[in-house]
A and B are shown apart, each in its own frame.
Chain A
Amino acid sequence: MSTAALLGQDPGWLILVKGLLIFVFCVVCTLMAVWGERRIVARMQMRLGPNRVGKFGLLQALADGVKLALKEDLIPAAADKVVFIIAPIISATTCFMAFAVIPFTGTVTLFGHKTAMQLTDLPVSVLYILAIASIGVYGIVLAGWSSGSTYPLLGGLRSSAQVISYEVAMGLSLVAVFIYSGSMSTSEIVAAQHKWWFSVILFPSFVIYVISMVGETNRAPFDLAEAEGELVGGFHTEYSSLKFALFFLAEYVNIVAVSALATTLFMGGYHALPGLTFTESWLGGWFTLFWFIGKVVSFFFLFVWLRGTLPRLRYDQFMKFGWKVLIPTSLLWILILATLRVMSQRAVSRIIVLGFSIGVVLLVVLATTLYDRSTAKAKAAAILPDLPPPSFPIPALPGQSMVNHLTIEQTEVVTELENHNG
C-alpha cells in the first residue's frame, strides 16, 4: 500500500497525536540545536562552551529561553504596532508547517494503528514546502519594516532579496529530483531512492540545494540579513523578550526543516545507509527514525561547521553568486539531465548516451578553461601600472626631490575626496 493510502486511513485522534509529536520534535530539536551549535562552535574555537546548566550544559538553551521570556517586552514608539506583533507570529507558525509532509519513518505501528510517521502526503508536497517557505519570508520582511528604524529595514530588505533569489536556485535544483523520481510527493521521492540516493546520481543538484539551503535560512556565511558589524541585529534589532524568542525558534526550526528536506530529497530519507538495509525492520520499523534523525543531525553539523569556518560574504558577491553562478548552472544541468532522461526512456543505445555524456563533460571543461584564461587576461590588464614610490615620509636621497606622482585618474579621486571631506 502506498504511503498516501496508508495515511488516508488515519483516524482523527492519530492525526492530532502526530501533529503534537511533530511540534514537540521541533521544539526539542531547537533546544538541542542551540546547545549543540554553541558546544561545537566552541570546540572549533578551542573553548568549552556552555557546560554549567545540567549535565554537559544540556539545559543551557532551556535556561536561556526562560530568561528571554522574563525580559521586558519593548515596542518602539515609531513601530507599526499590529504588524510588529504579527511578524514574529508568521515566522514561528510557518516554520513548523513544512514538517507536515516530511516522512520520518517507514511503515510503523503507533498505538495499534498501522501508519507512517508523516502527517500528510500531498501529490505536490515539495511545492507545498516551497509555498510555506515563501510565506515565512513575510515574517522577516514585516519585522524589518514595522520596526520603524533603519537597520531592521535594511536587514529585512536584504533578507527577502536573499531568500527570493536563493529560492529560485533551490527550486531549480529540485526539478532534477522531480524528473528522476517522477513525482513531487515526498514519500514517493523517498521510495524512489531505495536503490540509489539522489545525492549520488544527481550530485550537482545536491550541491546546489545545499548551498541554497544555507542562503535560504540566512545562516553563516550567508547571514547578511543580520550582519552584526553592519546592521546590528538586522531585522530583529528592535525585538525583545518572547517576540525575539519566536524569531530565534523560527530560525532553528527552519534549519531543521531544510535539513529534513535535504535528507528526504537527496539522502534517501528514512532509509538506512547502503549495506545496512536489514536495520530498517528493527523495532518494528521504528529504527528508520534513527536513520532519519541521524542524517538531519549531520546536516545540522554541516551548518555549524560552515559557521565556524567561513567568513561572511559581501552582499554583492553573494547576489552575484546566486544569480550568475547557481541559477545558470542549474538550468544547464537540468537541460543535460532532461536529455539523458529522454534518451533512457527512448532506450537509445548506450554508446550514444556515453558519447553525449563525454561530449558534455568535454564542453564544460573547454568552457571553464576558456573562461579562466579570459579572466586571467583581464586581471593581468587590470593590475595597476608600476607607480613610482609614493611621497609619504621616505627620506629623500641626496639629489632627489619629494613629489607626488599621480596618474590623472588618481588626482581626480584625490581632489574629489578632499572636496568631500571639506
Chain B
Amino acid sequence: MLHTSFHLALTVGRTATPEAVQFWILAPLAVIAALGILVVKKAVHSALLLAWVMVTLAIFYIAEDALFLGIVQIIVYTGAVMMLFLFILMLVGVDSSESLVENLKGQRIPSIVAAIGLGGLMLSLLGRATLPAPSVGLQTANAGGNVQGIAKSLFTQYVWAFEVVSALLITAALGAMVLAHSQKVRSPYAQRDLSIARFRKSSLGDAAGLPASGVFAGRNAVDVPALLPDGSPAPTSVSQTLRSRGDIITSAPFALEAIEEQED
C-alpha cells in the first residue's frame, strides 16, 4: 500500500495542476511571511511568521513526495524548536518591542559580506534549478516506500554522519545544562520548614497566616492595609513588594477616627 501514493505521482519535471494551484497559493504567502519576519516589530510576531514559513515548507515537501520529511519538519521544527524559541520570547512580555541599539561593534561589514555570499549561493542554486536538467533519484529512492527508503539510507550509508551529529547534539545539550547549572548555597525552604518556623517564633500572632489586606465594606484591595481593633493599620497585611514599590494606599481615611468623623 505504501506504493500507491507514489504511483500517483507524475513523471518528474512536469507539475500537475493541483500541485501548481497549491504552489501558487502557498508560495506567495510563504514569501510574504518570510519578508514579514524582517519587517514586523515584535519578536513574537517574527517567530510566528517563521513558524508559518516552516509549515508551508512542510506542505511543499509533502507535495514533492517527501512525506516523512514534511511531517518530521513540522514535529521537530515547528513543534519543538520554534516552541522553545517562543518560550523565551514570551517571557519578555507582550508590549516590549525589539531594541535597535547595536551591541556588537563592527558587525556590519562582515554581515554584509556574508549576506552577499549567501545571496550568491542562493542565486546559483536557483539558476541550477531552473535549467532543464533532469532530476533523478526520487522515484528510485521512494521505490520501497518513503519511510523505508529514508531508514535504509540513514542507517546504512549515512549511519556514521547520523551518529556523529547525534553525539554532537547530546554534547551540546549537556554542555548547556552544565553551564546553566548553579550550585545552591542551601536547600530552599520547603513548606514544612516554613511551617515549623512559623510556630517557633517568639509570637504566635501569625501562626495561622498573616492578616488579610483591606478594610471590609470600605476597600478590600491588596494595596490597603487592614485595620487592627484599635483602628491602626496592620503592616503585615500588605505585601512587602507592594510596600517597597510604594504602591500602597494609606489607610488613614479608613482609620477609626476618620470614619467616626464621617458619620458625625
Contacts and interface: CB of A to CB of B under 8 A. Distances in A.
Contacts of B2: 4, 123
Contacts of A390: 199-200
A135 B78 contact: yes
A124 B83 contact: no
Contacts of B90: 141, 144-145, 153, 156-157
Contacts of A145: 44, 86, 90, 94
Given A164-B80, A184-B147, A421-B236, A2 B75 contact: no
Interface in A117-134: 121-124, 127-128, 130-131, 133-134
Interface string B163-186: 000000000000000000000000
A240 to B, nearest CB: 19
A80 interface: yes
A384 B235 CA distance: 33
Contacts of A122: 5, 67
Interface in A137-192: 137-138, 141-142, 144-146, 148, 153, 156-157, 160-161, 164, 167, 184-185, 188
B218 to A, nearest CB: 23
Contacts of B147: 123-124, 184
A406 interface: yes
A195 interface: no
A404 interface: yes
A414 B51 CA distance: 50
Q: For B1, B5, B58, B87, which residue has the most chain A Cβ atoms within 10 angstroms? A: B1
Interface residues of B, number: 49
Contact of B79 (A135, A142, A406): A135
A58 interface: no
Given A123-B146, A188-B1, A417 B71 contact: no
Nearest to A188: B1
Nearest to A168: B80
A184 B71 CA distance: 12
B193 interface: yes
A78 interface: yes
Given A123-B2, A160-B87, A134 B74 contact: yes
Interface in B184-231: 189, 193-194, 196-202, 204, 206-207, 210
Given A5-B1, A123-B2, A131 B240 contact: no
A377 interface: no
B1 A417 contact: no
Contact of A404 (B80, B87, B189, B200): B200
Nearest to A420: B240
Given A2-B1, A185-B1, A135 B55 contact: yes
A392 interface: yes
A141 B83 contact: yes
A410 interface: yes
B74 A135 contact: yes
A392 B202 CA distance: 9
A10 to B, nearest CB: 12
A128 B80 contact: no
A8 B83 contact: no
A319 interface: no
A4 B1 contact: yes
Contact of A4 (B4, B78, B86, B200): B4
A421 B204 CA distance: 14
Interface in B28-85: 42, 44-45, 48, 51, 55, 58, 67-68, 71-72, 74-75, 78-80, 83
Contacts of B236: 421-422
B71 A148 contact: no
A72 interface: no
B101 interface: no
Nearest to B206: A421
Given A123-B147, A410-B197, A138 B67 contact: no
A386 interface: no
A150 B247 CA distance: 18
Contacts of A29: none
Contacts of A392: 199, 204, 207
B47 to A, nearest CB: 10
B95 A413 contact: no
Which 4 pairs show the lowest CB-CB distances between chains A and B? A134-B79, A2-B1, A4-B1, A131-B74
Interface of B: 1-2, 4-5, 8, 42, 44-45, 48, 51, 55, 58, 67-68, 71-72, 74-75, 78-80, 83, 86-87, 90-91, 94-95, 145-147, 189, 193-194, 196-202, 204, 206-207, 210, 235-236, 240, 243
21 contacts: A2-B1, A3-B1, A4-B1, A5-B4, A79-B94, A80-B42, A82-B45, A131-B58, A133-B79, A145-B44, A145-B86, A145-B90, A390-B199, A392-B207, A406-B200, A410-B193, A413-B189, A417-B197, A418-B201, A421-B210, A422-B235
Given A80-B94, A414-B201, 4 more contacts: A78-B95, A141-B87, A406-B200, A422-B235
